[in-house]
């Protein structure tokens, strides 16, 4: 692959911008300065720098982000900054044949919810992880206004009716983790589902954090930080769960 095409594929801008980056001596490959935009490079596991920043080639981008409070999951947010501003420009600009450029979040978290968000430019992965048909479990740590009772846990597991659908929605798992705390696992992703389910059993969510999606855990990733998923994580995440 030509170096300028590789940069283009990784989201460094229009082809003429990528050509300019190389010609102006702003790109190194495996530690060496390369100024020929047509130089042939093997993209597989290629490490390169652009304007001094390290990059690794990824044919498709798969990442996790620790969403902080005060960000919207929309590309065009209405009141709060977008989570996409937490990502470097190339991840937001990666060309996507026929689709929206850049990575897209798989599902959304509310402005005041924190925790694990997956982002990718792979439509198949979005479908596999995001479609309700695949029942990928999502684990939420919920802080409540009032003490959590065993009766509330029982009702969340048995199923509650929300205002937009007569069919009850139930937690796939639910346990009390503190006097005011719950761990709730859902396999669907209805609008404000956790908050509405908790309200339906007579409590109120005051803090919501997603710690896990399928086999992927947030771990010690700090709020506002992102990281690439490893090839194993991508493979495992889309393997049958549950």
Catalytic residues, by residue number, are 110
Q: Is 204 in the site for ligand URA (CB under 6 A)?
A: no
x-marked contacts with ligand URA along 124-163 as a string, rule CB under 6 A: ----------------------------------------
Q: Is 27 in the site for ligand URA (CB under 6 A)?
A: no
Q: Is 195 in the site for ligand URA (CB under 6 A)?
A: yes
| Distance in angstroms (rounded) separating the CA atoms of residues 32 and 183 | 50
| Distance in angstroms (rounded) separating the CA atoms of residues 47 and 69 | 33
x-marked contacts with ligand URA along 94-113 as a string, rule CB under 6 A: ---------------xx--x
Query: Three-state DSSP class for 118?
Result: strand
Contacts of 166 (CB under 8 A, 6+ apart): none
Nearer to ligand URA, 58 or 210 (CB): 210
Q: Are 41 and 27 in contact (CB under 8 A)?
A: no
Q: Which member of 16, 38, 154, 192 binds ligand URA (CB under 6 A)? A: 192
Compute the least distance from the CB of residue 191 to ligand URA, in Å: 8
Q: Which member of 119, 129, 174, 194 binds ligand URA (CB under 6 A)? A: 194
E strands within 94-239? 104-105, 113-120, 138-144, 160-162, 165-169, 173-178, 181-186, 205-213, 216-217, 226-228
The contact set with ligand URA (CB under 6 A) reads 109-110, 113, 192-195, 208
């Amino acid at each position: 692959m030509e170096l300028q095409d590789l940069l283009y594929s990784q989201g460094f801008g229009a082809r003429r911008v990528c050509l300019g980056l190389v010609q102006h001596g702003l790109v190194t490959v495996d530690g060496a300065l390369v100024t020929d935009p047509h130089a042939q490079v093997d993209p597989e596991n290629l490490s390169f720098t652009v304007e001094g920043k390290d990059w690794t080639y990824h044919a498709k981008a798969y990442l996790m982000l620790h969403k902080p409070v005060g960000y919207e999951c929309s590309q065009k947010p209405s009141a709060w900054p977008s989570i996409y501003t937490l990502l470097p420009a190339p991840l937001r600009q990666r060309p996507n044949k026929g689709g929206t450029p850049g990575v897209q979040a798989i599902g959304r978290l509310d402005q005041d919810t924190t925790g694990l968000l997956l982002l990718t430019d792979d439509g198949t992965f979005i479908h596999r992880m995001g479609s309700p048909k695949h029942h990928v479990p999502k684990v939420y740590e919920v802080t409540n206004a009032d003490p959590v009772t065993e009766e509330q846990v029982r009702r969340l597991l048995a199923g509650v009716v929300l205002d937009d659908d007569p069919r009850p929605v139930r937690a796939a798992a639910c346990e009390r983790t503190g006097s005011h705390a719950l761990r709730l696992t859902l396999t669907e992703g209805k609008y404000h589902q956790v908050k509405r389910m908790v309200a339906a059993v007579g409590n109120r969510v005051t803090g919501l954090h997603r710690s896990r999606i399928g086999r992927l855990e947030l771990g010690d990733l700090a709020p506002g930080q992102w990281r690439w998923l490893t090839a194993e994580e991508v493979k495992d995440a889309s393997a049958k769960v549950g």
